[in-house]
Amino acid sequence: MSLEFEICSSLIASLLCSDCRGFSFWVVEIKMALCSSTSLELKNPFIEGTKGKIATSKSFLRVGYVAKKEKSCCCNGRKVAVSSHLMPGHLEGSFMGKKRLEEPSQKMDFVRTLLIDNYDSYTYNIYQELSVVNGVPPVVIRNDEWTWEDACHYLYEKRAFDNIVISPGPGSPTCPADIGICLRLLLECRDIPILGVCLGHQALGYVNGARIVHASEPVHGRLSEIEHNGSRLFDNIPSGRKSGFKVVRYHSLIIDSEALPKELIPTAWTSSSTHSFLESPNSGLNPDACKNQIRPSKSFDTFSTGSHNGASWSFSHPGRMQGGKVLMGIMHSTRPHYGLQFHPESIATCHGRQIFENFREITEDYWQRLRPRSTFINERNVHYTGKDYQLIFLSSESTLYYLSIKLFLACMQVHVASQLFRVPRIGSLVHKEDAQPFKEAFRRSQVLGNASVNCLSISSALKFPESSINVRHLKLKWRKFDKLAARVGGARNIFNELFGACKAENTFWLDSSSIEKKRARFSFMGGKDGPLWRQMTFRLSDQSDVDFKGGGYLSIKDTQGSTKSMFLEKGFLDFLNQELLSFTYDEEDFEELPFDFHGGYIGYFGYSLKVECGMLSNRHKSTTPDACFFFADNFVVIDHLNDNVYILSLHEENTTSIPWLDDMENKLLCLEASATRKLGEQASPTATVSPYKAGFLGEKSREQYIKDVSKCLEYIKDGESYELCLTSQMRKTVGEIDSLGLYLHLREKNPAPYAAWLNFSNEDLCICCSSPERFLRLDRNGILEAKPIKGTIARGVTLEEDEELKLKLQYRNDLGRVCEPGSVHVPHLMEVESYATVHTMVSTIRGKKRSNVSAVDCVRAAFPGGSMTGAPKLRSMELLDSLESSSRGIYSGSIGFFSYNQTFDLNIVIRTIVIHDGEASIGAGGAIVALSNPEDEYDEMLLKTRAPASAVIEFQ
């Protein structure tokens, strides 16, 4: 597939995925499948009798570029060769100033943005905002994904974009490995509106001669009040202290305002003071919080009829900033280029959307004033009657982008999912696919120094094995028993009596053992029962210091005990996706059920599966399987809210009788509540002890962990990351321990809403999980929900101390992000939830899943959970791999279910005891931020191990 074909597919797919009211396409009957200059017959079905001939655009005259003498710069201690045309001061020779202005324009129905992703976790927050503001989603490319020739082709020959937005990102604009193509875009594209955010802002300064320096202190996730000079970018936005214009800042580097070159004008600034979210009740969470504020009466940057290099502006002289202020915004004096040091896309930045709306208006006015005569076709209509029509997207000079409906529908899902969810792009950049991994490996090796960095080779000829289940259409039968759970002893007794025999081999229990405040409602439990039961065990292929080829080995064991093995060249997530997409079902089978798991896969993903979600390598190999799942066809569900019990059986369509349902009903009705201790008779939680007193050995000493925290702080200071979730492992030999008994003891000591018991007997692997954190859920209505934890602190000894600690915790903050443009919202931001031993700070993020992505696509987009990695996610994981001394294994991964109808619910694996080959391991860690104290971080890490470690020593 050509790059041209991919971009037009993306633009069309973006339009079809958005609210298409007011937008339309032309329909053309293509006389030839491929034609570069053939005249085509055009029909507009919405205008009677409209007919004419349109020819494709002329070929693009490619302009050569000769690199000058190379210089070198130092990026965090590493030297990198840099061509001098990318250094400040070399602004001569740009050929782009006149090129775009030769073409007339007019007011646009929508604005097409090229969004450059600098490998940042917040890029798709900007994507969501631009999708709403522009009327069409932007096209996202990473900063090293296109060559300069690619950029010229789409910006100047195809004229596919009206403006450019450069995202935040880790590192410094002085290092080419961090900024990629962005410097050259800022240097050469003087006639295209560009907005740089954070790293993009610094790049705008740097390319025009400004100095990039360390801020007096790193500022991450803090609010600042902004004062501005009335620049067009700040239209209808108040200014100054107590005006209501507060923004969120995430940065360690700044532009030196004392040595600002004459080409750059300061537009916004702030004092060095910052605020927490508690100090800002009108922080942007309430849409009406920013209304009725005092705003400047006019903007000073207006279009001039004159022209300098094709784009000129006239100003009242803004002067220079006063001392003691931190530069928060700049603009170029003769180009439509703007920069913002803060994050307008943050949920807590007041007037953030207004800034993007202003940039859209700047773009529209720019092209309208400088290109008064239009060659754009404004009416873009779509007409589809079910036939195999060809869709044509028309841009300037009537350039024709065409796409078969059938091929488009197939490509749209693959391309948009890969673009939206930042996974390795397979087959999309065919002419560069072999070189891309090596470019990324070179960039990342500069960051990690001597740490081994492996490349993921991308193959365009990968094949799926056949599904492990021979049936495709599944039927569900179920029965409900009202108010039964309490009468038979509750969830604990039900599991013990129904599935606890023979050491509870090959059993699962997704256990909502803490249901206070409606944190969770349902528990799911089962074992090796039905004819469709399977166990899937996946291990990533061996890795070396030289290369990681991807994929891994899958073994599937069925209920009769037979096993088959295969190599999954495309990895486990693609295989699981294929499995889920192969099922068909009748919605009426489960439409009356109040829960979303109706049968399917229950198990876990290990942390190392991050290599299937954007990371290129794992430095350490896990001793446990990287993914392990049961296919559950017979299981029991407990509704803790209503005390109801359900039994469900999933079967092939032609199955006539289901004896399991009759058998399970008889067992439930015969249970006696006195057989085991009732939930109300559980022992009170005992005092927790240090894991070292419990006999656990840490893989790192206190001194080494503190040293690693200090390294994290240096990375943060240098702008490599905003936050790093450093972890460690505690281990203890336990021999032949009663694993189920240990789990039951743990759930009493530390009940949690997303707890779990998994026993993969064939792997000698038991997982006792008491997690309070949801990773991601997708319900039957297509709503995605994440509940990241960002902060943990011990419970106080007294009620007074308890309250003080809860308030103190709320000063630590971070934000998360997921899903579809315009639908993402945060109903609960940084609320404190209290558990048996700790307080945690939790946010709830919800959004509507795109219709053209699958359940597995959603997981691939977000895994591993950001609360266990840091931000920006990819760079943070690279740095953490270089600091941590062993694989995290199952810890930091996810446990949960994938229903056959593509709903899922997954937790974050924390507060968990993993028992494997006679050894118990407990992982723990904490998020390192700019304000972290190394000694305190070590204490927090130990705090998180105390409940599970105490459970082990008390149970033995």
Catalytic center residues: 198, 343, 345
Question: 406-423: buried (b, 16+ CB within 10 Å) or exposed (e) per residue?
Answer: eebeebbbbbbbbbbbbb
Question: 223-235: buried (b, 16+ CB within 10 Å) or exposed (e) per residue?
Answer: bbbbbbbbbbbbb
- Are 838 and 924 in contact by the 8 Å Cβ rule? The answer is no
Please report the beta strands in 675-764, taking only residues with DSSP state E, as ranges in sequence order: 697-698, 723-733, 754-760
| Three state DSSP letters for 498-510 | HHCCHHHCCCEEE
CA distances for 198 relative to 133, 386, 465, angstroms: 20, 46, 45
DSSP tag of 589 = G
Helix axes 572-582, 855-862, angle to 10 degrees: 160
Contacts 24+ apart (CB under 8 A), 86-94: 86/176, 86/183, 86/184, 86/187, 86/207, 88/206, 88/207, 88/208, 88/209, 88/210, 88/261, 89/209, 90/187, 91/187, 91/208, 91/263, 94/187, 94/188, 94/190, 94/309
- Are 789 and 867 in contact by the 8 Å Cβ rule? The answer is yes
DSSP calls for 791-804: EEEEPPSSHHHHHH
* Rounded CA separation 361/139 (Å): 19
The three-point CA angle 808-813-819 to 5° equals: 150
Strand partners, 768: 757, 913
DSSP tag of 682 = P
In which residue are the tokens 């949801």 written?
774
Does residue 625 have a cis bond before it (omega within 30 degrees)?
Answer: no
* Rounded CA separation 341/343 (Å): 7
* Rounded CA separation 228/234 (Å): 7
Residue 478 CB burial class (10 angstroms; 0-12, 13-18, ≥19)? middle
Helix axes 934-955, 739-749, angle to 10 degrees: 130
* Rounded CA separation 794/722 (Å): 24
Residues 6+ apart with CB under 8 A from 349: 246, 247, 248, 284, 342, 343
- Are 633 and 530 in contact by the 8 Å Cβ rule? The answer is yes
DSSP calls for 808-834: HHTTS------SSTTT-EEEEEEEEEE
Dihedral (Cα; 612, 617, 619, 623), 10-degree rounding? 30
Rg (the chain; Cα; Å)? 29
* Rounded CA separation 718/748 (Å): 44
- Are 881 and 725 in contact by the 8 Å Cβ rule? The answer is no
* Rounded CA separation 883/891 (Å): 16
* Rounded CA separation 32/561 (Å): 56
Strand partners, 766: 759, 915
Two structure tokens written together for 569: 């060249």
In which residue are the tokens 């129905």 written?
109
DSSP calls for 688-701: P--TTTTT-EESS-
- Are 441 and 455 in contact by the 8 Å Cβ rule? The answer is yes
The rounded Cα 634 to chain-centroid distance in angstroms is: 34
